[in-house]
Amino acid sequence: MIADRMSKLDSSGIRKIFDLAQKMQNPVNLSIGQPDFDVPEDIKTEAINAINRGANKYTVTQGIPELCKSLLGRLQKERGVNAENIIITSGVSGALTLAFLVLVNPGDEVLIPDPSFVSYKHLTNFCGGVPLLVDTYPDFKLTASRIQPYITPKTRILIINSPANPTGVMSSLQELKEIAELAKKHNLLVISDEIYHDYDYNHEFESIGRYYDKTLLMDGFSKSLAMTGWRMGYAAGPSAIINEMLKLQQYTFVCASSFAQHALAKAGEIHLHGVLESYRKKRDFMYDGLKDKYHIVKPGGAFYLFPQVPWGTDEEFTAAAIQQNLLIIPGSVFSERHTHFRISYAAADATIERGIDILNKLAKR
């Protein structure tokens, strides 16, 4: 018998597109949310060296001390965040899973931007919580004034993702300070998913953890270092929460990848200036190529666009795109609305150019 809680989970719409991509012949794939470059060579070398010297067994559950210390120091230096404690996890998805299981009781309300990353809503449901979807249309800005009407005595957690998936929109410093004040007023825990923080095209990124102590910050290396398959993330914040996540990790993930931890601990700081400039150009190329035929909010970060469909529903438009050998994600995967679709420009320039051509032709239904 399947547990009742599984009825609260739907199969990921993103996974369905990925599966479809495996069956298509040379699709124009603008669906995948992973970088199109490879892991930096020095990190690959460190990983190989770690494997060769025998770093292939379990690590301590929390993560190796040298990596934990390094990441806490970088958070303080680069983001002004003085986190009490940290745990290395199997990607940010692992951090989210541990956090929701530790923090969400049945009936607890979790404030989630609409649109947003698919896991937030489904993990809330899985834990018996109540997802309250904060409408951020049409500009996709999460603000204190938009959050306030959704807060009730049962509200426990607020999710922030900046830069955001699927929109690429970033929270400004003023917006974060106002959200921090609101969270403090209502004693909310903020979970800040900062996995895309390196993709900051206008140098606007700020962490709410700098302004609000009751923040559980999550980040990882899948996007910034293109190591999606290495499953390396972390959560940093109040010790009372991290210690409970650590307790649960003992019985679930056990520990994050050993060789990857050792590689990252020895690699030192990685600067992605060249990559960032390349992705800025990709963003501008795609935005400029589509803006005359689509309503699009120009993103300040991440590597996504979230245009409004020019006709029909998002499912109908996505189906028409697939008929033209183009893979995109229907917006309702991330939202309660059926009005938009997600494009990833983490792709080769030639692929982006082909995608622009197909989309502009599709706009003329």
Alpha-carbon span 291 to 350, nearest angstrom: 19
Residue 15 has pLDDT above 90, yes or no: no
pLDDT for 359: 98
* Stretch among 133-142, 164-173, 273-282 having the lowest mean pLDDT: 273-282
How far is the CA of 69 from the CAs of 75, 88, 237, 344, in angstroms? 10, 11, 14, 34
Q: Both tokens of residue 96?
A: 């989210």
Residue 362 has pLDDT above 70, yes or no: yes
Alpha-carbon span 319 to 312, nearest angstrom: 11
Residue 295 has pLDDT above 80, yes or no: yes
Characterize the bridge pairing of strands 28-29 and 109-114. unpaired
pTM of the complete model beyond 0.85? yes
Residue 31 has pLDDT above 70, yes or no: yes
Q: Both tokens of residue 155?
A: 């509200």
Mean pLDDT, the chain, whole residue set: 93
In order, the DSSP letters of 160-219 are EESS-TTT-----HHHHHHHHHHHHHTTPEEEEE-TTTT-BTTS----GGGT-SSEEEEE
- Where in the chain are the domains? 4-39+272-362, 43-267
Residue 11 has pLDDT above 70, yes or no: no
Q: Both tokens of residue 351?
A: 């692929």
Which has more confidence, 6 or 163?
163
Percent of the chain with pLDDT over 90: 83
Per the listing, tokens 């008929």 go with 323
pLDDT for 53: 94
Q: Both tokens of residue 232?
A: 């390396």
Percent of the chain with pLDDT over 70: 95
Mean pLDDT, residues 331-359: 96
Segment 231-276, tens digit of pLDDT: 999 999 999 999 999 999 999 999 999 999 999 998 766 667 788 8
Segment 311-335, tens digit of pLDDT: 999 999 999 999 999 999 999 999 9
**Confidence grade of residue 21 (pLDDT, cut at 50, 70, 90):** low
CB atoms within 10 A of CB 286: 27
Residue 10 has pLDDT above 90, yes or no: no
pLDDT for 14: 60
Residue 2 has pLDDT above 90, yes or no: no
Architecture of domain 4-39+272-362: Alpha-Beta Complex (3.90)
pLDDT for 269: 65
pLDDT for 17: 63
Residue 83 has pLDDT above 80, yes or no: yes
Mean pLDDT, residues 307-314: 97
Alpha-carbon span 217 to 242, nearest angstrom: 11
Residue 107 has pLDDT above 70, yes or no: yes
Alpha-carbon span 28 to 123, nearest angstrom: 31
CATH code for the structural domain at 43-267: 3.40.640.10
Residue 24 has pLDDT above 80, yes or no: no
DSSP, res 228: G
Segment 161-190, tens digit of pLDDT: 999 999 999 999 999 999 999 999 999 999
pLDDT for 12: 57
The set of residues, in sequence order, having a beta carbon less than 8 Å from that of 281 and lying 6+ positions away, is none
Residue 8 has pLDDT above 80, yes or no: no
pLDDT for 214: 98
* Stretch among 7-21, 98-112, 143-157, 236-250 having the lowest mean pLDDT: 7-21
pLDDT for 256: 95
